[in-house]
Structure 1
Amino acid sequence: MDVQMFDSVFDALADTPAEAANMKARSELLSVLKARIRSWEVSQEAAAGRLGITRPRLNDLLQGKIAKFSLDALVNLATASGLTVHVHVAERLDPAAVTPARGRTRRMATGMSRRCEGRGGSSRRGTPCRYAASCAPRHA
Protein backbone atom coordinates (compact mmCIF):
# COMPACT_ATOMS: atom_id res chain seq x y z
CA MET A 1 0.00 0.00 0.00
CA ASP A 2 1.27 3.48 -0.86
CA VAL A 3 1.75 5.99 1.94
CA GLN A 4 0.01 9.32 1.48
CA MET A 5 1.17 12.56 3.09
CA PHE A 6 -1.23 15.34 4.08
CA ASP A 7 -0.65 18.90 5.27
CA SER A 8 -2.99 18.39 8.23
CA VAL A 9 -5.16 15.75 9.82
CA PHE A 10 -8.20 17.53 8.38
CA ASP A 11 -6.89 17.10 4.83
CA ALA A 12 -6.63 13.37 5.53
CA LEU A 13 -10.13 13.11 7.03
CA ALA A 14 -12.07 15.29 4.60
CA ASP A 15 -13.28 14.28 1.16
CA THR A 16 -12.73 17.73 -0.34
CA PRO A 17 -10.53 20.75 0.33
CA ALA A 18 -13.68 22.70 1.23
CA GLU A 19 -14.58 20.20 3.96
CA ALA A 20 -11.01 20.30 5.27
CA ALA A 21 -11.05 24.12 5.40
CA ASN A 22 -14.35 24.05 7.31
CA MET A 23 -12.97 21.55 9.81
CA LYS A 24 -9.79 23.61 10.29
CA ALA A 25 -11.80 26.78 10.94
CA ARG A 26 -14.13 25.01 13.40
CA SER A 27 -11.16 23.48 15.21
CA GLU A 28 -9.42 26.82 15.59
CA LEU A 29 -12.59 28.53 16.85
CA LEU A 30 -13.32 25.69 19.25
CA SER A 31 -9.81 25.84 20.69
CA VAL A 32 -9.92 29.61 21.20
CA LEU A 33 -13.39 29.40 22.76
CA LYS A 34 -12.32 26.70 25.20
CA ALA A 35 -9.38 28.83 26.36
CA ARG A 36 -11.58 31.92 26.66
CA ILE A 37 -14.25 30.14 28.70
CA ARG A 38 -11.71 28.50 31.02
CA SER A 39 -10.08 31.91 31.61
CA TRP A 40 -13.34 33.13 33.16
CA GLU A 41 -12.87 30.70 36.07
CA VAL A 42 -16.61 30.39 36.66
CA SER A 43 -18.89 27.36 36.91
CA GLN A 44 -20.17 25.72 33.73
CA GLU A 45 -23.66 26.93 34.64
CA ALA A 46 -22.47 30.55 34.81
CA ALA A 47 -20.43 30.25 31.61
CA ALA A 48 -23.37 28.68 29.77
CA GLY A 49 -25.60 31.54 30.94
CA ARG A 50 -23.06 34.08 29.73
CA LEU A 51 -23.04 32.44 26.29
CA GLY A 52 -26.80 31.86 26.12
CA ILE A 53 -26.54 28.06 25.79
CA THR A 54 -27.36 25.09 27.99
CA ARG A 55 -24.80 23.54 30.33
CA PRO A 56 -24.77 20.24 28.37
CA ARG A 57 -24.07 22.21 25.17
CA LEU A 58 -21.23 24.04 26.92
CA ASN A 59 -19.87 20.72 28.15
CA ASP A 60 -19.82 19.43 24.54
CA LEU A 61 -17.79 22.50 23.58
CA LEU A 62 -15.35 22.12 26.47
CA GLN A 63 -14.91 18.42 25.64
CA GLY A 64 -13.93 19.38 22.07
CA LYS A 65 -16.84 17.65 20.34
CA ILE A 66 -16.27 19.48 17.07
CA ALA A 67 -18.86 17.48 15.11
CA LYS A 68 -21.64 18.95 17.25
CA PHE A 69 -20.88 22.54 16.22
CA SER A 70 -21.31 24.28 12.89
CA LEU A 71 -19.03 27.10 11.85
CA ASP A 72 -21.95 29.53 12.28
CA ALA A 73 -22.64 28.32 15.82
CA LEU A 74 -18.99 28.71 16.81
CA VAL A 75 -18.81 32.23 15.34
CA ASN A 76 -21.94 33.15 17.32
CA LEU A 77 -20.45 31.71 20.51
CA ALA A 78 -17.15 33.52 19.94
CA THR A 79 -19.02 36.80 19.55
CA ALA A 80 -21.10 36.10 22.67
CA SER A 81 -17.88 35.45 24.60
CA GLY A 82 -16.54 38.88 23.65
CA LEU A 83 -14.18 37.72 20.91
CA THR A 84 -13.97 39.22 17.44
CA VAL A 85 -13.75 36.80 14.52
CA HIS A 86 -11.69 37.67 11.44
CA VAL A 87 -11.61 35.59 8.26
CA HIS A 88 -8.40 35.33 6.26
CA VAL A 89 -8.77 34.23 2.66
CA ALA A 90 -5.75 33.51 0.46
CA GLU A 91 -5.09 31.80 -2.82
CA ARG A 92 -3.89 28.21 -2.59
CA LEU A 93 -0.23 27.67 -3.38
CA ASP A 94 -0.93 24.67 -5.62
CA PRO A 95 -3.98 25.40 -7.84
CA ALA A 96 -3.64 21.91 -9.39
CA ALA A 97 -4.51 20.37 -6.01
CA VAL A 98 -7.96 21.97 -6.04
CA THR A 99 -10.73 19.48 -6.68
CA PRO A 100 -14.40 20.26 -7.31
CA ALA A 101 -16.49 20.55 -4.15
CA ARG A 102 -18.79 17.75 -5.34
CA GLY A 103 -18.56 14.85 -7.73
CA ARG A 104 -15.02 13.56 -7.24
CA THR A 105 -12.85 12.53 -4.38
CA ARG A 106 -9.19 11.72 -3.92
CA ARG A 107 -8.25 8.18 -4.81
CA MET A 108 -6.80 5.97 -2.16
CA ALA A 109 -3.90 3.59 -2.64
CA THR A 110 -6.35 0.71 -3.03
CA GLY A 111 -7.76 2.25 -6.22
CA MET A 112 -11.18 3.07 -4.81
CA SER A 113 -12.51 6.49 -4.00
CA ARG A 114 -12.76 7.60 -0.40
CA ARG A 115 -16.57 7.86 -0.47
CA CYS A 116 -17.34 4.49 -2.00
CA GLU A 117 -15.04 2.44 0.23
CA GLY A 118 -15.56 -0.56 -2.03
CA ARG A 119 -19.11 -1.30 -0.95
CA GLY A 120 -20.46 -0.98 -4.49
CA GLY A 121 -22.92 1.63 -3.33
CA SER A 122 -22.94 5.09 -1.93
CA SER A 123 -22.01 5.20 1.74
CA ARG A 124 -24.78 7.74 2.31
CA ARG A 125 -27.86 6.51 0.46
CA GLY A 126 -27.33 2.88 -0.54
CA THR A 127 -27.66 3.84 -4.21
CA PRO A 128 -25.27 2.72 -6.95
CA CYS A 129 -21.90 4.38 -6.54
CA ARG A 130 -21.54 7.46 -8.71
CA TYR A 131 -17.79 7.11 -8.39
CA ALA A 132 -17.71 3.74 -10.13
CA ALA A 133 -15.35 5.03 -12.83
CA SER A 134 -12.70 5.94 -10.24
CA CYS A 135 -13.44 2.83 -8.18
CA ALA A 136 -13.28 0.41 -11.10
CA PRO A 137 -11.00 -2.12 -9.35
CA ARG A 138 -13.55 -2.52 -6.52
CA HIS A 139 -16.58 -2.69 -8.83
CA ALA A 140 -15.18 -5.29 -11.23
Structure 2
Amino acid sequence: MAEIVGTLVDKLTSLLDGEVEMLNGIEDDVSFFNDELSAMKAALDALDLRDTLDPLTKDWKDHVKEMSYDMDDLIADFMHNLGGGAGADADAKAGFVQKMAQFVRTFWARRQIAGQFKELRARLVEMNNRRKN
Protein backbone atom coordinates (compact mmCIF):
# COMPACT_ATOMS: atom_id res chain seq x y z
CA MET A 1 0.00 0.00 0.00
CA ALA A 2 2.71 2.47 0.95
CA GLU A 3 4.55 1.53 -2.24
CA ILE A 4 1.58 2.70 -4.34
CA VAL A 5 1.56 6.09 -2.63
CA GLY A 6 5.35 6.30 -2.92
CA THR A 7 5.12 5.63 -6.64
CA LEU A 8 2.51 8.37 -6.95
CA VAL A 9 4.80 10.83 -5.17
CA ASP A 10 7.50 10.01 -7.74
CA LYS A 11 5.05 10.46 -10.63
CA LEU A 12 3.81 13.78 -9.25
CA THR A 13 7.37 15.00 -8.85
CA SER A 14 7.98 14.09 -12.48
CA LEU A 15 4.91 16.08 -13.49
CA LEU A 16 6.19 19.10 -11.60
CA ASP A 17 9.48 18.86 -13.46
CA GLY A 18 7.95 19.93 -16.74
CA GLU A 19 4.93 18.06 -18.01
CA VAL A 20 2.44 20.09 -16.01
CA GLU A 21 3.36 23.37 -17.70
CA MET A 22 0.67 22.66 -20.30
CA LEU A 23 -2.09 23.14 -17.76
CA ASN A 24 -2.14 26.60 -16.28
CA GLY A 25 -3.12 26.64 -12.64
CA ILE A 26 -2.62 22.94 -12.03
CA GLU A 27 0.90 23.29 -10.63
CA ASP A 28 -0.52 24.22 -7.22
CA ASP A 29 -2.76 21.13 -7.24
CA VAL A 30 0.15 18.87 -8.15
CA SER A 31 2.32 20.41 -5.42
CA PHE A 32 -0.53 19.98 -2.94
CA PHE A 33 -0.97 16.31 -3.93
CA ASN A 34 2.75 15.74 -3.67
CA ASP A 35 2.86 17.15 -0.13
CA GLU A 36 -0.30 15.39 1.02
CA LEU A 37 0.63 12.04 -0.49
CA SER A 38 4.08 12.27 1.10
CA ALA A 39 2.43 12.79 4.49
CA MET A 40 -0.01 9.94 3.82
CA LYS A 41 2.86 7.64 2.84
CA ALA A 42 4.57 8.38 6.15
CA ALA A 43 1.31 7.62 8.00
CA LEU A 44 0.81 4.41 6.04
CA ASP A 45 4.37 3.32 6.78
CA ALA A 46 3.67 3.84 10.50
CA LEU A 47 0.40 1.91 10.22
CA ASP A 48 2.18 -1.00 8.57
CA LEU A 49 4.14 -1.43 11.80
CA ARG A 50 0.96 -1.99 13.83
CA ASP A 51 -0.48 -5.45 14.36
CA THR A 52 -4.10 -4.29 14.48
CA LEU A 53 -5.95 -1.21 13.28
CA ASP A 54 -9.16 0.33 14.56
CA PRO A 55 -12.10 0.48 12.11
CA LEU A 56 -11.71 4.22 11.41
CA THR A 57 -8.05 3.81 10.55
CA LYS A 58 -8.81 0.84 8.31
CA ASP A 59 -11.46 2.90 6.54
CA TRP A 60 -9.02 5.79 6.03
CA LYS A 61 -6.39 3.39 4.70
CA ASP A 62 -8.93 1.99 2.21
CA HIS A 63 -9.82 5.52 1.07
CA VAL A 64 -6.15 6.36 0.58
CA LYS A 65 -5.76 3.22 -1.51
CA GLU A 66 -8.79 4.09 -3.66
CA MET A 67 -7.61 7.66 -4.11
CA SER A 68 -4.14 6.42 -5.04
CA TYR A 69 -5.62 4.36 -7.86
CA ASP A 70 -7.72 7.31 -9.01
CA MET A 71 -4.66 9.55 -8.98
CA ASP A 72 -2.63 6.97 -10.89
CA ASP A 73 -5.37 6.80 -13.55
CA LEU A 74 -5.47 10.59 -13.79
CA ILE A 75 -1.70 10.84 -14.22
CA ALA A 76 -1.81 8.12 -16.89
CA ASP A 77 -4.58 10.03 -18.71
CA PHE A 78 -2.56 13.23 -18.47
CA MET A 79 0.56 11.59 -19.85
CA HIS A 80 -1.37 9.84 -22.64
CA ASN A 81 -3.38 12.88 -23.75
CA LEU A 82 -1.01 15.76 -23.03
CA GLY A 83 2.41 14.38 -22.16
CA GLY A 84 5.29 15.72 -24.17
CA GLY A 85 7.52 12.70 -24.65
CA ALA A 86 9.34 12.60 -27.98
CA GLY A 87 7.07 15.30 -29.42
CA ALA A 88 8.15 17.90 -26.87
CA ASP A 89 11.25 18.89 -28.84
CA ALA A 90 9.20 19.23 -32.01
CA ASP A 91 6.70 21.42 -30.14
CA ALA A 92 9.53 23.67 -28.97
CA LYS A 93 10.54 24.23 -32.60
CA ALA A 94 7.01 24.60 -33.93
CA GLY A 95 5.79 27.96 -35.10
CA PHE A 96 3.01 30.01 -33.56
CA VAL A 97 0.31 28.54 -35.80
CA GLN A 98 1.28 24.96 -34.95
CA LYS A 99 1.37 25.77 -31.25
CA MET A 100 -2.07 27.36 -31.40
CA ALA A 101 -3.44 24.38 -33.35
CA GLN A 102 -2.04 22.03 -30.69
CA PHE A 103 -3.57 24.19 -27.97
CA VAL A 104 -7.00 24.02 -29.62
CA ARG A 105 -6.73 20.24 -30.22
CA THR A 106 -5.93 19.60 -26.56
CA PHE A 107 -8.19 22.23 -25.00
CA TRP A 108 -10.98 19.88 -23.88
CA ALA A 109 -8.58 17.23 -22.61
CA ARG A 110 -6.69 19.85 -20.60
CA ARG A 111 -9.93 21.24 -19.22
CA GLN A 112 -11.20 17.79 -18.19
CA ILE A 113 -7.92 16.80 -16.57
CA ALA A 114 -7.69 20.11 -14.68
CA GLY A 115 -11.25 19.55 -13.43
CA GLN A 116 -10.36 16.03 -12.31
CA PHE A 117 -7.34 17.37 -10.42
CA LYS A 118 -9.59 19.90 -8.65
CA GLU A 119 -12.12 17.17 -7.80
CA LEU A 120 -9.44 14.86 -6.41
CA ARG A 121 -8.00 17.73 -4.39
CA ALA A 122 -11.42 18.38 -2.82
CA ARG A 123 -11.82 14.67 -2.05
CA LEU A 124 -8.38 14.55 -0.47
CA VAL A 125 -9.05 17.58 1.72
CA GLU A 126 -12.39 16.10 2.79
CA MET A 127 -10.82 12.72 3.53
CA ASN A 128 -8.06 14.29 5.64
CA ASN A 129 -10.54 16.49 7.51
CA ARG A 130 -12.60 13.41 8.38
CA ARG A 131 -9.45 11.66 9.58
CA LYS A 132 -8.50 14.59 11.83
CA ASN A 133 -11.95 14.81 13.44
TM-score normalised according to structure 1 size: 0.35
Which structure dedicates a bigger proportion of its chain to helix? 2
The structure that has the greater radius of gyration is 1
